[in-house]
């Protein structure tokens, strides 16, 4: 064991760490560009966002290297405790949390604000991996599916109470690691079918949609008329689909907040609003388009400097990259993310333990969800749900949580030959 610990630096995937450091550096440079004012700012102003982000990056590196020093089995053994702590934090934020932008999602600690929902991601990933690996579960039976669903839904429910719909939706990405471990494909079809019905419910009159569902159900039932059990199942699915329409309509009109409904309607083209909810996206697209091929240059973005794009150092930081570094800068950033995701998936496939494999796929899916949604909302193809761009957006909680996610897997991978 001592020999393994002394050689862990040789087993760690340093290419992945270099990609991580490159993304952190890109994030710091662009946050600096957003916040730096040559007339009033100093190069190392630790009271401003770029100064704080530098502290976050340095502390994240220390945190990551500290994780590499731990025993790989630590994460499996203490997964339930880590998950429990994150659940307690999610409950605590509902009591002592600070309300920012309508969401009570942050716990104030001096001048710093801790966001528990960010840390709940790796807590959930660890417990899912622990459950699937420890009990040799088969995800084609009801009981393990319900247990996995409970592990995922509990933090989702607590986050929705804040309410933070963006962070809550990230947890849907855990379906795909479960699919890799044997979750029936029919459940994924049902999920995407529910998404499609939700969208169609906004475009099509309810009576017409119900008629279409009944017609399709009747067609399938007629083709399966000689198999009574299949006909019964088709009938149940048809009734469930119709009931879902009413539930979806109720949720959209009574549960979602007005600004959330407006964002969905903007994406689907049901409404236009260039000065209200659509303003952020419109200005973001202007900034990215203004960058053209090579960008306007470092500290030269007019959309950036004059603050036309709100939340430009956090949710909309990709627009800064597009304006100042152009298509080439965007291509480099997206290329780094693609390389990182493919490398994580390749590393997950070579794991000897189910725990490491499930955990690896979990972080790959979480990172993909964040990148796809964040970039998508800055160019107007996804709803603005307010989630950070991993390793690049300003914020200590998000940077630390993504660092913990990644470096735990790097540690598991470095010890893959000895951790079964």
Residue 300 pLDDT greater than 70, yes or no: yes
pLDDT score of 169: 85
Segment 118-139, tens digit of pLDDT: 999 999 999 999 999 887 788 8
Backbone angles phi, psi at 273, to 5 degrees: -160, 90
Comparing CA positions, the residue from 121, 72, 159, 149 lying closest to residue 363 is 121
Instruction: Compute the average pLDDT of residues 276-295.
Output: 82
What pLDDT does residue 369 have? 93
Cα-Cα-Cα-Cα dihedral sign, residues 172, 174, 179, 184: negative
Share of the chain above pLDDT 70, in %: 90
- For the ranges 14-18, 222-226, 242-246, the lowest mean pLDDT is seen at 222-226
Most confident of 94-98, 189-193, 205-209, 394-398: 394-398
pLDDT value, residue 270: 63
Outline where 139-205 has alpha helix (H).
142-160, 165-170, 175-180, 185-203
112-114/103-109 β-pairing: antiparallel
Please determine, for residue 413, whether its predicted confidence score (pLDDT) is greater than 50: yes
* CA distances in angstroms from 82 to 139, 260, 318, 356, 363, listed in the order given: 24, 32, 32, 16, 16
Distances in Å between the Cα of 217 and the Cα atoms of 166, 221, 234, 408 are 34, 6, 6, 47
Given a cut of 80, whether residue 20 has pLDDT beyond it is yes
Tokens 């610990």 found at: 5
Residues 175-200 have pLDDT tens digits of 889 988 888 888 888 888 888 888 88
pLDDT bucket at 78, cuts 50 / 70 / 90: very high
Phi, psi of 103 (to 5 degrees): -115, 125
Closest listed residue to residue 197, CA positions, set 239, 145, 249, 149: 249
Specify the residue for token string 């949580």.
401
Q: What angle do CA 250, 253, 259 make, to 5 degrees?
A: 145
pLDDT band at 81 (very low <50, low <70, confident <90, very high): very high
What does the pLDDT read at residue 1? Answer: 46
Summary mean pLDDT of the chain: 84
Q: For 273-284, what is the mean pLDDT?
A: 70
Mean pLDDT of 259-273: 67
What's the rounded Cα separation, in Å, for the pair 247 and 241? 10
pTM of the complete model: 0.86
Measured CA to CA, the distance from residue 286 to residue 242 in angstroms comes to 41
Cα(91)–Cα(222) distance, integer angstroms = 50
* Peptide bond connecting 163 to the previous residue in cis, omega within 30 degrees of 0: yes
311: left (phi over 0), alpha (psi -120 to 50) or beta: left
Is pLDDT above 50 for 280?
Answer: yes
H helices, E strands: number in the chain: 19, 3
Q: What is the DSSP string of 53-83?
A: HHHHHHHHHHHHHHHHTS-THHHHHTHHHHH
Q: Is the pLDDT at 268 greater than 80, yes or no?
A: no
Q: pLDDT tens across 219-230, in order?
A: 877 777 667 777
Residue 17, pLDDT above cutoff 90? yes
Copy the structure tokens of residue 291: 């960058």
Mean pLDDT calculated for residue range 381-399:
88
Q: Return the top range by mean pLDDT from 64-73, 256-265, 363-372, 386-395.
A: 363-372
Q: What confidence category does residue 419 fall into, taking pLDDT thresholds of 50, 70 and 90?
A: low
CA distances from 171 to 92, 362, 396 (A): 20, 10, 20
Return the structure tokens found at 106. 């942050």
d(CA 375, CA 30): 15
Separation between Cα atoms, residue 70 and residue 410, nearest integer Å: 11
Dist. CA 60–CA 353, nearest whole Å: 27
State mean pLDDT over 219-246. Answer: 81
* Residues paired with 100 in a beta bridge: 103
Residue for token pair 């499996």: 76
Task: Give the angle 369-393-166 at the CA atoms, nearest 5°.
Answer: 40
Tokens of 200: 């169609």
């Amino acid at each position: 064991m001592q020999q393994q610990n002394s050689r862990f630096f040789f087993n760690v995937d340093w290419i992945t760490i270099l990609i991580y450091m490159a993304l952190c550096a890109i994030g710091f440079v662009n946050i600096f560009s957003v916040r730096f004012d040559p007339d009033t700012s100093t190069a190392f102003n630790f009271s401003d966002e770029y100064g704080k982000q530098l502290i976050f990056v340095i502390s994240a590196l220390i945190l990551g290297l500290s994780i590499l020093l731990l025993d790989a089995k630590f994460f499996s053994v203490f997964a339930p405790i880590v998950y429990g702590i994150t659940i307690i934090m999610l409950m605590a934020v509902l009591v002592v949390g600070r309300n920012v932008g309508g969401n009570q999602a942050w716990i104030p600690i001096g001048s710093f604000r801790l966001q528990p929902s960010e840390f709940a991601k790796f807590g959930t990933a660890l417990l899912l991996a622990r459950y699937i690996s420890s009990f040799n579960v088969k995800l084609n039976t009801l009981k393990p599916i319900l247990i996995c669903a409970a592990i995922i839904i509990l933090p989702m429910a607590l986050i929705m109470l804040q309410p933070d719909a963006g962070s809550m939706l990230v947890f849907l990405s855990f379906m795909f690691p479960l699919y890799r471990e044997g979750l029936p494909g029919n459940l994924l079809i049902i999920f995407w079918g529910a998404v499609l019905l939700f969208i169609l419910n906004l475009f099509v009159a309810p009576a017409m949609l119900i008629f279409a569902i009944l017609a399709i159900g009747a067609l399938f039932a007629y083709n399966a008329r000689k198999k009574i059990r299949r006909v019964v199942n088709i009938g149940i699915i048809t009734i469930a689909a119709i009931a879902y329409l009413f539930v979806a309509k109720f949720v959209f009109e009574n549960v979602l907040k007005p600004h959330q409904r407006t964002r969905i309607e903007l994406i689907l083209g049901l409404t236009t609003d260039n000065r209200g909810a659509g303003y952020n996206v419109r200005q973001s697209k202007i900034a990215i388009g203004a960058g053209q091929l090579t960008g306007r240059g470092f500290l030269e973005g007019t959309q950036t400097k004059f603050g036309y794009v709100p939340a430009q150092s956090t949710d909309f930081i990709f627009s800064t990259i597009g304006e100042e570094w152009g298509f080439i800068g965007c291509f480099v950033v997206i290329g780094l993310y693609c390389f990182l995701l493919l490398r994580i998936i390749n590393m997950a496939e070579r794991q000897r333990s189910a725990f490491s494999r499930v955990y690896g796929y979990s972080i790959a899916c979480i990172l993909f969800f964040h990148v796809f949604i964040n970039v998508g909302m800055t160019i107007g193809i996804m709803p603005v749900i307010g989630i950070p761009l991993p390793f690049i957006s300003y914020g200590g909680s998000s940077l630390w949580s993504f660092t913990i996610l990644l470096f735990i897997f790097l540690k598991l991978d470095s010890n893959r030959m000895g951790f079964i």
